[in-house]
Amino acid sequence: MLGWRGRADEVTKVRGMFIHPRQVDEAAARVAGIARHQVIVTRKDHQDVLTFRVELAEGAAAGAIAPALEAAVREIMKLRGQVEVVPRGSIPEGAKKIIDERTWK
């Protein structure tokens, strides 16, 4: 047990707000046409950047999904974020819901 340090779950603090995987799922569930989803947290110019990556379901239009998902993220997570539509197969089955890629130098 000496090797365990910090948290072992996916809860991540972004701009002072905690994000839970269930919030990611809830935001994606509010928008039709999303097959898979994942949140990536990075840092740019000493600020946290939240990117909501989505794979579209068959026949879904990206133009309608992005604004609706951005609104759902603001309402549920109380944060602003950008939406990135990625090609099918980019997000593996069973991938983590929140990936923290920030570096603290």
Structural domains of the chain, with CATH: 12-100 (3.30.300.30)
What is the 3 state secondary structure string of 42-66? EEECCEEEEEEEEEECCCCCHHHHH
- Residue 61: the pLDDT is 80
Q: Which two tokens stand for residue 73?
A: 């993220």
pLDDT tens-place values along the chain, 105 residues long: 555 555 556 799 999 999 999 999 999 999 999 999 999 999 998 899 999 999 998 888 878 899 999 999 999 999 999 999 999 999 999 899 999 999 876
- Residue 10: the pLDDT is 77
- Residue 90: the pLDDT is 93
Nearest C-alpha neighbor of 52 from the set 88, 17, 16, 23: 23
- Residue 4: the pLDDT is 55
